[in-house]
Structure 1
Amino acid sequence: MNEGVGVPGSETIQRSNDVLIGALVLMVGFSALTSKDDTLATLTTLLAFSGVYYWGALVLELRAQWRTLIWLLALVGLWVVLLPMQPLAVYLVFPLYFLFLTVMPDFRGVTAVLGATVVAIMNQYPAFTPGGVLGPALAALVTIAIFFAFRRLWLAHVERENLLQELLSTRHQLIATEREAGMVAERQRIAHEIHDTLAQGLSSIQMLLHVAEKDVASAHPDQAILRIQQARATAAENLSEARAMIAALQPAGLAGNSLEAALQRVAASAQNVAAKVVVEGESRALPMRVEATLLRIAQGAMGNVVKHAQAGRAQITLTFAPEEVRLDVVDDGVGFDPAGVDKHAAGLGHIGLEAMRSRVAEVGGVFTVESAPGEGAAVSVAIPLLDCNR
């Protein structure tokens, strides 16, 4: 049966109800076969009850739609017909309680449960017994109490989940806004730096060369040479300024160091983890943004190893290939389910994975994570160098 409401365990409860219906039908059928009553009529009605129930269980939805309500009425009608034929048919009221409350989770469902309870009790007339009266009555009350308690807990859970999603969405928006503001501020800072250094220097060079051009035209070669020398000095200063700006944009770990040396420091800084760095292939200089990306990935991956993996050993492998460079960070920790981490909103553990994936995508690379609970983890990055050099 298609569930009307996505409540955890509702499918299991429905399957249990299917099994309960089947068991009760078999019990009533066996009782009919061993009794001297109208066995054929009882079995025919019982078969009709089973057929109607399981047809609806496969086709209909558990919600208050007209087809489902007609189906419920048909089941109740067949059950009422069965009651005078076979006394044990009264037990079929218990799975009907569940159907009433699931299809109509309000006063209508409660009314239907109470009405079915009255029918089950009155079926014993005139030979009422304490057990025959208290059994259906107590079962009805317990079913109603459990159902609505469970439903209330579920609605509270849904409300908390929705609130959490709203909070996380707001947090993501704030992070995006702060990131954008930071990028704008950084662009403005770089623009000011370029204006105050490179642009001014280029303007001076242009002016000096223009004056030198006039000096040559007016037969003053000595002054022209002086202007050209001044222009060269200004160009040298601009080159120095440009290199300083580029160095300022590099990660601190790469300032004056090779990528391999920076990775060695990342491994050495991993607390309580025996980490080492392995370099494969012919080492060579890489574009600055590629080195920066690889260093950031190594830092983030080792940060997760230290914080989450409970690992004893880890290895950072840097592989130089003709057309790409690879970085692998492997640990022997507790591992995790990558699919489960992807479903978490940022901020609920392994928060760096999505940031790593985005950072690698910016340089045209491929980011993969391989892990399983109890089997450690491997973070791998492959960046094509041809694309980066274009």
Structure 2
Amino acid sequence: MQTDDRPLAVGGADARWLAFVMQLTYCLLLGSAMIRFLLRHSDENRAPWVIALAVALTALYFLGPRAGRGATPWSPVRLAAWFGGIIALWAPLVLLAPSFGWVAVPLFFTALRTLPPRAAYGLIAVLTAFVIGAQLQLSARFDIDLVVGPMALSASATALFIYMQRQAARQETLITDLVRTRRELAATERREGTLAERQRLAMEIHDTLAQGVSSQQMLLRAAQRLWEADPGKARGHVDTAVSIGEHNLSEARRFVHDLAPTDLAGGGGLAAALYTLAERESGERLSVRVHVDEAGHGPLPELPELVQSALLRIAQGALANVREHAGATTAVLTLTCLDDQVVLDVADDGRGFDAAALPEGPDGMRGHGVPAIRARLKQLGGRLTIESSPGEGTVVSAAVPLERREG
């Protein structure tokens, strides 16, 4: 049972519909009572008073507060004055013509809709008492049904309205929760999208820009050391650094616009891009070779763009780790396409490390490289395998599943 002082209101279209039904009920009950009175008592002295009171009551009733969403609520004082006028007109009308007692039925709902619960319950009790008295006055003898009937009617009407109000409140709560959930979901999706984009940019920067800047730094330092002893060789290092800078600029423009890597833009596919990468990464300290394994599996098929881009970035990241951490002289990129997956192996003859001790996070032994590779493969449903031991080099194997080809 509601215990606060707010009206037991049903909002929106339901309120307007209920108000219309109650107004129609009022007109039917008042009209039938008036017809009954005029047919039986039109020649009595009280007839003018009954007609005047019925007209005044009807006018005041239809001047009451409107129902529905957007209707301006009345102040408690104004409501009290309005209901006081209703009772002041209806009570003497019932005393003069008891058949008008049933007009209390639409007044029940009006009280429940506009008054605070306690005031509405008290008013309904008063109205019910008047209805019982009117029915007993019309009856030639006492009948218990004339007492129980109006009481049952008022109790049922009140319970029905409270049920409707609670259903409307539950529906409004559900709608509010749904709207809030949708907003929270949209905010979560935006946050996830932001984090995914940050992760993408972090991986792109590590695999391209950071790798290129690292190479430029090494070349420029070498040029600085050789500038006086061997100017020609020093200028060669500077020219190579300039070339890397141009490539980095092109990569930055492309991944900002979410395009394929520069090495894939030539149209030769992943194999051609790997050869270009190997040529660019090869130098005095590191020799990079590429092997495309097509034995027994036919020519390399056209791979999805996302797979090509991811594997090329993985190769770039792996070579960056080789150059910065392995101390290797040779690295081999092996691309193998099976019926249901494509595998890229990056092997080096460097110092190696304990693969079992390699941490998962970005703050581990090899910076962002390995976590970035794992993240790329996770997006494609692939897996990463690292085989290494101290003094025996390292093999990084990235496998990406493909749709099975029909043979």
TM range (shorter): 0.5 to 0.7
Match of 1:228 among 230, 235, 248: 235
> Cα distance, 1:9 vs. partner?
0.7
The one-letter amino acid of 2:167's match is L
TM-superposition CA deviations, 1:150-193 (whole Å, max 9, x none): 22222222333333344444434433333333343344334434
Q: Does 1:47 align with 2:47?
A: no
Q: Hey, what does 1:20 align to over in structure 2?
A: 25
Relative to its length, the structure with more helix (as a share) is 1
Whole-angstrom CA distance in 2 between matches of 1:183 and 1:196: 18
TM-superposition CA deviations, 1:332-351 (whole Å, max 9, x none): xxxxxxxxxxxxxxxxxxxx
Match of 2:14 among 9, 32, 35: 9
Counterparts of 1:371-382 in structure 2 under 5 Å?
A: none
Whole-angstrom CA distance in 1 between matches of 2:149 and 2:74: 28
Q: Hey, what does 1:80 align to over in structure 2?
A: 91
Q: Please say if residues 128 and 154 of structure 2, whose CA atoms lie closer than 8 Å, have aligned partners that are also in contact.
A: yes
Whole-angstrom CA distance in 2 between matches of 1:70 and 1:41: 22
Give the % identical residues. Answer: 13
Q: Hey, what does 1:111 align to over in structure 2?
A: 122
Q: Hey, what does 1:192 align to over in structure 2?
A: 206
Q: Please say if residues 42 and 82 of structure 1, whose CA atoms lie closer than 8 Å, have aligned partners that are also in contact.
A: yes
Counterparts of 1:213-362 in structure 2 under 5 Å?
A: 224-240=231-247, 243=250, 250=258
> Cα distance, 1:11 vs. partner?
1.4
TM-score by length of 1: 0.52
**Which structure's relative contact order is higher, taking Cα pairs within 8 Å and 6+ residues apart?**
2
Q: Please say if residues 21 and 92 of structure 1, whose CA atoms lie closer than 8 Å, have aligned partners that are also in contact.
A: yes
Q: Please say if residues 208 and 251 of structure 2, whose CA atoms lie closer than 8 Å, have aligned partners that are also in contact.
A: no
| SS class of match (2:64) | helix
| SS class of match (1:9) | helix
Whole-angstrom CA distance in 2 between matches of 1:88 and 1:47: 15
Q: 88-97 or 147-156, which moves further after superposition?
A: 147-156
Aligned length: 250
Whole-angstrom CA distance in 2 between matches of 1:253 and 1:150: 63
TM-score by length of 2: 0.51
| SS class of match (1:92) | helix
> Cα distance, 1:199 vs. partner?
2.7
| SS class of match (1:56) | coil
TM-superposition CA deviations, 1:54-113 (whole Å, max 9, x none): 112459866771211221121122111111232321121110110121223524322321
Q: Judging changes above 3 Å, is the alpha-carbon distance between structure 1 residues 61 and 234 closer, same or farther for their aligned structure 2 residues?
A: closer
Match of 1:157 among 171, 174, 197: 171
TM-superposition CA deviations, 1:109-131 (whole Å, max 9, x none): 22321221111111244534455
Q: Hey, what does 1:368 align to over in structure 2?
A: none
| SS class of match (1:123) | helix
Whole-angstrom CA distance in 1 between matches of 2:107 and 2:151: 14
Q: Judging changes above 3 Å, is the alpha-carbon distance between structure 1 residues 129 and 109 closer, same or farther for their aligned structure 2 residues?
A: same
Q: Please say if residues 222 and 237 of structure 2, whose CA atoms lie closer than 8 Å, have aligned partners that are also in contact.
A: yes
Gaps of 5+ in 2: 1-6, 268-407
> Cα distance, 1:136 vs. partner?
2.0
The one-letter amino acid of 1:43's match is I
Gaps of 5+ in 1: 259-390
Q: Does 1:65 align with 2:72?
A: no
